[in-house]
Amino acid sequence: MKPPLIGLTTYPAGQGHGYHTPLDYVHAVVRAGGAPVLLPPVGQSAIDSWLAALDGVVLIGGGDIAPALFDGGLHPTIYNLSPERDETEIALARSLLACKLPTLAICRGLQIINTVLGGSLHLHLPDVVGEAVEHRVPPRDPTLHRVRVAANSCLAGLLGSTQISSKSWHHQAIDRAGHGVRAVAWAEDGVIEAIEIDDAPQVIAVQWHPELSAAEDSRQQALFDALIRMSSNKN
């Protein structure tokens, strides 16, 4: 049997480099038994072709979503906005939910899903919850913190635990949950760290970055393994 074909979204092209996805995501998909391909932010025209070929998708992390997409206002800490990436990923997320393709949504990916479903984001977490729990460290680097997972959630079953340490790398998070979105994990300051979606069991969505520790932590790798299992069952 061929390995399932897994699309990974990408960062925009920049000076000196093209569209790109950090290696940690790629390696985690390969370890799980998937065949990764990159999905560049080229707009909506490619999405039907992608979905006809793919068995699953990882919506990776990255820069902020334009606040206008969730009526969020402005904040001086907003960074790395990309209209092309927003357009592509919003349209892709809508299509993924509609066709129920297995999806792992990480950090920005979770925020994209919540936005598509009508939710909103806190623009800068320190303004809302303070800094007792660090969700990233200066200037913009990942850090480790505890996450509590609801015992009755599908996520707890995948992780095999209701208490985990996770690599965090964000300054925004869900404010208003979208339609059908349920919080199922929280940081110690109450920030939502994972969601599940009514009528969309094929979506795994976490605010933290499992790819950063998946090589050493089997519980984090388990999220990629679950994506590949679901994607294999699609065939």
> Which residues are known catalytic residues?
107, 209, 211
Using CA atoms, how far residue 147 sits from 77, 109, 123, 153, 194, in Å, is 25, 18, 21, 14, 9
Find the helix packing angle between 108-116 and 83-99, rounded to 10°. Answer: 70
Return the percent helix, strand and coil in the chain, to nearest 5. Answer: 35, 25, 40
Q: Could you give the CA distance from residue 51 to residue 204 in angstroms, rounded to a whole number?
A: 18
Would you tell me how many other CB atoms lie within 10 Å of the CB of residue 7?
Answer: 24
| Contact of 167 with 142, CB cutoff 8 Å | yes
Question: What's the Rg (C-alpha) of the chain?
Answer: 16
DSSP assignment, residue 177? -
The residue with tokens 């925004």 is 172
Q: Could you give the CA distance from residue 56 to residue 233 in angstroms, rounded to a whole number?
A: 11
Give the tokens for residue 141: 């680097």
Would you tell me how many other CB atoms lie within 10 Å of the CB of residue 183?
Answer: 17
DSSP notation for 128-146: HH-SSS-SSBTTTB-EEEE
